[in-house]
A = this chain, B = another copy of it.
Amino acid sequence: MQAIKVALFEDNKHLRESLSILISGTPGFQLTGAYPDCDELLYQLNKELPDVVLMDIEMPGMRGTEAVKLIKKDFPEVQVLMQTVFQDDENIFQSICAGASGYILKTTSPAQYLEAIRDVHQGGSPMSPFIARRVVSLFAQNVSVPSLHNYQLTPKEKEVLSLMVQGKSIKMIADASDISYETVRTHVKNIYSKLHVNCNTEAVSKAMREKIV
């Protein structure tokens, strides 16, 4: 089996060296590099593309979450495992939105570190039960339920509605869709009637809330 190639970003010298020894010294793992900051992030990844990046959230210069965004933009197949001493909502939230797959604490044991690296590499998202709880709870708060109702909008009406959501005026929609102003107005009237609203803001708000478009 091919060894899992790991790149390490960690500003703390002691931890960086400990992890380096752990990773390079364990069969099945290969360290492609250990860096104290993200200054030459993309260059370093290009040099030898790792399977997994182990990223500290708190670092001098570029924040870990910013670095993740860059990585996922240029190397979407690279799996990123965040490590941190904090487990506040903001950090978890930012990391996940940036594209990180796993999120572990620095208090994690060496064996669990390796296990977590293996997990992300195999397509999992290792995280402590506590962090998982935060994610689940953030999730339940943020997710909106897509359209329980079916408002029976026709394809053209959906198209018009989605342009309305983008903030376009009737005139702009007419231009964009290459149909006449009056036709757009007719569609809009029908949309209002089907959504049971009577102005543009209500329609936009309802469309976004219920993810109709």
* B contact residues around A135 at 8 Å (CB): 125, 132, 135-136, 139
How many of chain A's residues touch chain B, expressed as a range?
Answer: 35 or more
Q: Are B201 and A143 in contact (CB under 8 A)?
A: no
- 25 A-B interface contacts by CB (under 8 A): A96-B136, A96-B140, A97-B140, A99-B140, A101-B133, A123-B130, A125-B130, A125-B132, A125-B135, A127-B132, A135-B135, A139-B139, A139-B143, A142-B144, A164-B201, A167-B202, A167-B206, A168-B201, A169-B201, A200-B200, A201-B201, A201-B204, A204-B204, A205-B208, A208-B208
A138 at the interface (CB under 8 A from B): yes
Q: How many of these chains are in the complex?
A: 2
Contact mask A193-213 → B, CB, 8 Å, 1/0? 000010111101110110000
Residue of B nearest to A100 (CB): B136
